[in-house]
């Protein structure tokens, strides 16, 4: 994916937009969406906590048409999310939904999702 997949930077909107970096890698049979938080101390106003859930308020990662909407698996947690399927508003996902338990997300659609889920579930 990182050698042959197409690189697509993802747009971010909302109050915490400057605190995220997001891109996708797209190939014929697999899509990866990578989203990481940055400048956490500034975002959290020096509170010693990870930037999770509600702190992201209206921050949203937008998907271009080249990135398929549908079911994605978070490779770190095994959690499945429906991304970009809401009928209202722009295609994308809220950062608060992505950063439920970790301030980083690597989401996969296609490829080896069943294997990834099994591996993630055995760790948790």
pLDDT exceeds 70 at position 120: no
77: domain CATH number?
Answer: 2.60.40.1180
What gap in Å lies between CA 59 and CA 112, rounded to an integer? 29
Query: Taking the model in full, what pTM does it have?
Result: 0.79
Residue 9 binned pLDDT confidence (cut-offs 50, 70, 90) = very high
Q: What is the pLDDT of residues 59-117, one digit of tens each?
A: 888 998 888 888 999 998 888 888 877 766 678 888 888 888 878 889 998 765 444 44
Residue 80 lies in a domain: yes
Residue 91 lies in a domain: yes
Residue-number span of the structural domain to which 16 is assigned? 6-123
Output the pLDDT for position 27. Answer: 86
CB atoms closer than 10 angstroms to residue 57: 13
Number of domains the chain is built from:
1
| Contact yes or no for 59/16 (Cβ under 8 A) | yes
Q: What is the pLDDT of residues 20-37, one digit of tens each?
A: 889 999 988 889 999 988
């Amino acid at each position: 994916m990182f050698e042959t997949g197409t690189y697509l930077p993802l747009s971010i909107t909302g109050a915490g937009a400057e605190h995220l970096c997001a891109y996708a890698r797209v190939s014929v049979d697999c899509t990866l969406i990578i989203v990481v938080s940055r400048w956490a101390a500034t975002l959290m106003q020096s509170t010693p906590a990870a930037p999770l859930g509600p702190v992201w308020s209206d921050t949203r990662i937008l998907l271009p048409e080249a990135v398929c909407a549908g079911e994605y698996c978070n490779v770190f947690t095994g959690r499945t999310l429906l991304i970009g399927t809401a009928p209202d508003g722009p295609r994308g996902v809220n950062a608060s939904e992505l950063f439920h338990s970790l301030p980083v997300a690597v989401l996969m659609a296609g490829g080896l999702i069943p294997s990834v889920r099994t591996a993630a579930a055995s760790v948790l």
